[in-house]
A and B are shown apart, each in its own frame.
Chain A
Amino acid sequence: AQSVTQPDIHITVSEGASLELRCNYSYGATPYLFWYVQSPGQGLQLLLKYFSGDTLVQGIKGFEAEFKRSQSSFNLRKPSVHWSDAAEYFCAVGALNIIFGKGTRLHILP
């Protein structure tokens, strides 16, 4: 069965520090993988996607993610976070019936 696990419900980092949000998936075929961000009261905005090719993908707002097939992981990274990055982040897998993880809420310390 398809599933997405985001093991960290909350993460707190200091502004300017590096960030890594974890995502593990279970999928029967070559996965389409996504990271979305949700600010309070807003819909989900696509940060980046992986369909095929280079396993390190670049997204908007300085985010990147690396697909590791052997670990069934698609972790999101940013070298230096800004206060405006505080939001909830969702990993997702699938083609049409897209499955979302439960999300990781990112808190930024000044």
Chain B
Amino acid sequence: DAGVIQSPRHEVTEMGQEVTLRCKPISGHDYLFWYRQTMMRGLELLIYFNNNVPIDDSGMPEDRFSAKMPNASFSTLKIQPSEPRDSAVYFCASSRVGSPLHFGNGTRLTVT
């Protein structure tokens, strides 16, 4: 089991550019979560999917953020256009019903 795989590990981009973060969940897990971690706000749930369907996106900060899950083995989080305040570590996690979250190693995003 390779665990949750996120790419890239680091992303540095200029304000206004589009950023796409990628996640491959653990095979067999039917829930996928996107979290953002900052010093000020800690870990925040942005959105989660069940069986590839978005269930709760109330944590998505604004319309510049969007997430998709085209199939059970892949999800993306897109920021367009990016802003310096989006700089954070973005985590993807997956789980099954009744099981804890399994986290990826995160993508550290820096927007200059």
Give the docked Cα–Cα distance between A103 and B35 (Å): 15
Give the docked Cα–Cα distance between A46 and B56 (Å): 23
Answer yes or no: B101 CB below 8 A from chain A CBs: yes
Which candidate, B12-20, B63-71, B73-81, B102-110, is the interface stretch facing chain A? B102-110
Question: Quick one: which of A41, A46, A99 contacts B105, CB cutoff 8 A?
Answer: A41
- Dominant secondary structure at the B interface: strand
Would you call A43 and B42 a contact (CB within 8 A)? no
Chain B window 83-110, contacts with chain A (Cβ cutoff 8 Å), 1 for yes, 0 for no = 0000000010100001011111110000
Identify which of A45, A98, A99, A102 gathers the most chain B CB atoms within 10 Å of its CB.
A98
Number of A positions contacting B (CB below 8 A):
19
CB of B60, distance to nearest CB on chain A (Å):
13
Answer yes or no: B45 CB below 8 A from chain A CBs: yes
8 Å CB contacts to B: which residues of A75-110?
90, 96-103
Answer yes or no: B34 CB below 8 A from chain A CBs: no
Question: Quick one: which of B48, B56, B100, B105 contacts A43, CB cutoff 8 A?
Answer: B105
Answer yes or no: A74 CB below 8 A from chain B CBs: no
Contact A90:B43 (CB < 8 A) given known A41-B105, A42-B105, A44-B91: yes
Give the docked Cα–Cα distance between A47 and B98 (Å): 16
Name B105's closest neighbour in chain A (CB-CB).
A43
Give the docked Cα–Cα distance between A52 and B37 (Å): 29
In the complex, 7 of the A-B residue pairs with CB atoms within 8 angstroms, ordered by the A residue number, are A43-B91, A44-B43, A44-B91, A44-B103, A45-B103, A97-B56, A100-B43
- A residues with a Cβ closer than 8 A to B are 34, 36, 41-46, 49, 51, 90, 96-103
